[in-house]
Amino acid sequence: MTLPRRALLGAPLLAMPGVARAQAPVVGRTARILAGFPAGGTVDVTCRLLAERLRGTWAPQVVVENRVGATGRLAIEEAIRSDADGSTILVTPASMVTIYPHLYGQRLRYAPQSDLQPVSPVVVYPFTLAVGPGAPGVTNLAQFIELARSRGGLNYASPAAGSVPHFTGVMLARAAGIELTHVPYRGAAPAIVDALGGQIPATINVIGDQVEHHRAGRLRMIAVTSAQRLPRFPDVPTFAEQGRPELTADEWFGAFLPARAPEALNRQLNALLAQVMGDAALRETLEAREFQPTHTSAADFAARIRAETAKWEPVVRESGFRPED
The residue segments making up the domain with residue 166 are 127-247
pLDDT of residue 288: 84
Same domain, 82 and 25: yes
pLDDT of residue 323: 87
pLDDT of residue 12: 35
Same domain, 274 and 313: yes
pLDDT of residue 40: 80
Overall domain count for the chain:
2
Contacts of 322 (CB under 8 A, 6+ apart): 103
CB 200 within 8 A of CB 130: no
pLDDT of residue 69: 87
pLDDT of residue 22: 52
Average pLDDT, the chain: 90
Per-residue model confidence as pLDDT tens digits over 210-240: 989 999 999 999 999 999 999 889 999 999 9
Residue 325 resides in a domain? no
Is the pTM of the predicted complex or chain greater than 0.75? yes
Q: Strand 154-158 vs strand 251-258: parallel, antiparallel, or unpaired? A: unpaired
Give the end of a domain, one of 247, 266, 296.
247
Same domain, 119 and 133: no
Residue 216, phi then psi, degrees to nearest 5: -85, -5
C-alpha angle 204-36-121 in degrees, rounded to nearest 5: 70
pLDDT of residue 90: 98
pLDDT of residue 17: 42
Give the end of a domain, one of 247, 265, 294.
247
Residue 29 resides in a domain? yes
* CATH number for the domain harbouring residue 36: 3.40.190.150
Give the end of a domain, one of 211, 227, 247.
247
* CATH number for the domain harbouring residue 138: 3.40.190.10
Low-confidence ranges of the chain (pLDDT < 50): 1-21
pLDDT of residue 6: 36
Per-residue model confidence as pLDDT tens digits over 255-280: 999 999 999 999 999 999 999 999 99
- Sheet with 88-93, strands from edge to edge, namely 62-66, 31-35, 88-93, 251-258, 116-125, 292-293
